[in-house]
Amino acid sequence: MEPELRSNLRESSTWKRLVFMVIFAIAFQLAELLLAAVAVIQFLFRLVTGECNDRLAVFGAGLAEYLRRVVAYLTFASDSRPFPFDNWPDAEPERIAPAPPEGDDPTNDGY
- Structural domain that includes position 47: 17-93
The rounded mean pLDDT for the chain is 87
- Tens of pLDDT, residues 2-54: 888 878 788 888 899 999 999 999 999 999 999 999 999 999 999 999 999 99
- One DSSP character per residue, the chain reads --HHHHHHHT-HHHHHHHHHHHHHHHHHHHHHHHHHHHHHHHHHHHHHHSS--HHHHHHHHHHHHHHHHHHHHHTTS--S--TTSSPPPP-PPPP-PPPPPGGG-TT----
Q: Is there a domain that residue 4 lies in?
A: no
Say what the pLDDT of residue 108 is: 59
Q: Is there a domain that residue 3 lies in?
A: no
At 98, the amino acid letter reads P
- Tens of pLDDT, residues 47-95: 999 999 999 999 999 999 999 999 999 999 999 999 888 888 888 777 7
Name the pTM for this structure.
Answer: 0.76
- Kindly tell me if the per-residue pLDDT of 101 is higher than 80: no
The total number of structural domains in the chain stands at 1
Q: Is there a domain that residue 88 lies in?
A: yes
